[in-house]
Chain A
Amino acid sequence: MVLSRPSRSLWGDAWSRLIRNKAAVVGMVIIVLFAVVAVFAPLLAPHNPLQINSGKEFLPPAWVKESSTGKSGEAQFLLGTDTIGRDLLSRLIYGARVSMIVGLTPVLIILLIGTVIGLMSGYATARVDNLLMRFTDVIYAFPDLLFYIIMMITLRDTALGRMMNGLFLLFVALAIVSWVGVARLVRGQVLSLKNKEFIEAARCIGSSDTRIMSRHILPNCLSPLVVWMAFAIPRMIIAEAVLGYLGIGLRPATDPHAFFITSWGVSLLEGQTAINAQPWLLLAPALCVALVVMAFTFLGDGLRDALDPRMRGTM
């Protein structure tokens, strides 16, 4: 008699554990929602985010009858308008686009650089490895937010700083510091796997180094990398919001055809000026940042538990 049951892969297993985690599912739903909003921003935004509605400045959200400014909300401006009469909801919808891109792009660059360097370091001779690791030590000790700030302010007015409304420079700044974490993670993984039997077996049958790296070692790095990614994306989004709040992030566009018009960080800065009279201008973008960051953290927690059940319940 043969006992048979459908085979389950590691990822299938992890997925079934993940969708049993309520917080992670809520996180995923929120992320998908914001991603859809980011992609279809022009279709979803009720107004042009740059359109200045004169005479309709400082409108409170639509459900507020009488605000401290003496104006009452209008149904067509669901979340109210800002200091020069632009629709807040539309600006937030376009801001989601920047946050999603800022979350994803540097993380992908970092994954690429970090993985390559980590693999090399783990596989190289002790001397090269030592050199690379000392180098990452130095970068690791660098206060990252300060580095972003210095890089953004000094290079902001150069040609590089003007590309993509300043987003390109932001990507570079975020990527330069953060690849170190990935490199260390991959290196650690390589070192622990290097002398395992299955790698030895692969070497015995004559696999090349490249094949061992890409077919045997890399797949074993994937799950920690996925978890790392889920925690790195919110860090990038927060960094963008902080830089925007300090006025050195994205340059708000004036051209309606620009792809990246405004960001939540920029909205926070604009909202800060009117905190007493129009708190919703600050509250709405702050809620957006909090929601997305929390969603990613929940997903990250869930992914960690799902991919490595031994880690469940620890930090």
Chain B
Amino acid sequence: MGKFIVRRLLWMIPVLFTITLVTFLFMHAAPGGPWDRDPGRRQVVPATQEMLNRKYGLDKPIWRQYIAYIIGDFDADGKFVCGAVCGNLGPSYRQRGRTVQDILFSVPEGQPIWDSRMGYSARLGILSLTLAIIVGIPAGIISALRQNTWIDYLSAVIANIGVSVPNFVMGIFLIIIFAVMLHVVKVVPKSWSSPTVWIIPALVLGFGTMAFTARLTRSSMLEVMRQDYVRTARAKGLAERAVIMRHMLRNALIPVVTVLGPALAGLLVGSFIIETMFSFPGIGREFVQSITNRDYSMIMGTTLIYGVLIAVANLAVDISYGFLDPRIKVE
């Protein structure tokens, strides 16, 4: 098991390497640079630009810049400046004087740690995953136990819609229903400190996962219900409750638990449209804003973070297989 984890961790290196290399090359192929100002404003004079380039090492050949970004390089004074491996994602192209990691991870003075942009996104992701679990799993169980009744059909219809309709389209529908027609919530809330304003974005973000979880739980329950050991449990006179909780659920939830890892990664990454829609102060909106601003270093930094999140989530799944079901041998 330990060997497997180490091997998978090592395997993440080429994956992340490719992600950063591709992004880096694209970023350099793109027009514009960190010292460009908006057209119409006074531009940085060429001499200053050259000096800035020298200071940040942008005058060096591209392969060296890449190494500097990932590992680090010596600056003009001969001092070693660490790169992405130390968490230094470089200066933002648009937000002057701030580095990418500063924008994404720093917390305003006197605020708790989860008030950073990353913290906001993580909270939204976890909240929507929780919603998906506490609604999706019971819905799946009930529709399996009451197979082919109206409650099963209703949940199947909702789950089918949830699985196929993309979450941003679902978001549009929910915003129009709840904010524009019913005026229950504001499209863009004034503050994110009250917990009630989180419900709609979390629901929109988690709806697909919720539907997927419900469908998976149902089909997995149906499969387990027909197993011999369930019949045995009933035959020896166990209460229905014990049969369901101890014998069916434990086995039926294995596939469900294993998809929750990628689901969380999907929620974190998929959140950027939802965050933009609700003007949510997380990294997703920062990412979208950096797209419109052509803030290439910010795009690169957020992509790298997303890449790491996905890689870690995938690893977590593979490991969880081994823990949950001893029959599955992790190789």
A residues whose Cβ falls under 8 Å from a Cβ of B: 23, 134, 137-139, 141-143, 145-147, 149-151, 153-155, 157, 234, 238, 241-242, 245-248, 268, 275-276, 279, 282-283, 286, 289-290, 293-294, 296-298, 313-315
Contacts and interface: CB of A to CB of B under 8 A. Distances in A.
B172 A294 contact: no
Determine the interface band of chain B, counting residues with CB < 8 A from chain A: 35 or more
B303 interface: yes
Interface string B63-82: 00000000000000000000
Given A142-B307, A149-B291, A315-B219, A245 B273 contact: yes
Contacts of A153: 30, 291, 294, 299
Main secondary structure, interface of B, reads helix
Contacts of A134: 14
Given A154-B27, A155-B26, A275 B176 contact: yes
Interface string B13-32: 01100110011001101110
B19 A289 contact: no
Given A23-B160, A142-B18, 9 more contacts: A134-B14, A142-B15, A153-B294, A155-B29, A241-B166, A268-B172, A286-B173, A294-B160, A294-B164
B222 A143 contact: no
B215 A147 contact: no
B205 interface: no
A141 B222 contact: no
Contacts of B22: 142, 147, 150
Interface in B244-295: 269-270, 273, 276, 288, 291-292, 294
A106 to B, nearest CB: 17
B87 to A, nearest CB: 20
Contacts of A247: 292
A147 B314 CA distance: 18
B291 A245 contact: no
B22 to A, nearest CB: 7
Interface of B: 11, 14-15, 18-19, 22-23, 26-27, 29-31, 160-161, 163-166, 168-169, 172-173, 175-176, 180-181, 187, 215-216, 219, 222-223, 269-270, 273, 276, 288, 291-292, 294, 296, 299, 303, 306-307, 310-311, 314
A271 to B, nearest CB: 8
25 contacts: A138-B14, A141-B311, A143-B269, A143-B306, A143-B307, A145-B269, A146-B306, A146-B307, A147-B22, A150-B22, A153-B30, A154-B27, A154-B29, A241-B166, A242-B166, A275-B180, A275-B187, A283-B176, A286-B172, A290-B164, A293-B164, A293-B165, A294-B160, A314-B219, A314-B223
Nearest to B223: A314
Most buried by B among A150, A234, A314: A150
A241 B169 contact: yes
A234 B15 contact: no
B296 to A, nearest CB: 8
A242 B170 CA distance: 13
A294 B173 contact: no
A146 B307 CA distance: 9
Given A142-B307, A154-B27, A242 B273 contact: yes
Contact of A154 (B26, B161, B216): B26
A151 B169 CA distance: 23
B112 to A, nearest CB: 29
A94 B11 CA distance: 46
Max chain A CB contacts within 10 Å: which of B163, B164, B176, B307? B164
B15 to A, nearest CB: 4
B269 A146 contact: yes
Contacts of A245: 168, 273
A-B CB proximity, top 5 nearest: A297-B164, A154-B30, A154-B26, A286-B172, A141-B15
Given A141-B314, A151-B26, A313-B219, A283 B168 contact: no
Contacts of B291: 149, 153, 246, 248
B15 A138 contact: yes
A6 B172 CA distance: 52
Contacts of A157: 31
Contacts of A23: 160
A282 B11 CA distance: 43
Nearest to A27: B164
A293 B166 CA distance: 8
A134 to B, nearest CB: 8
A209 B305 CA distance: 45
B186 to A, nearest CB: 10
Contacts of B216: 315
A137 B10 CA distance: 13
B310 A143 contact: yes
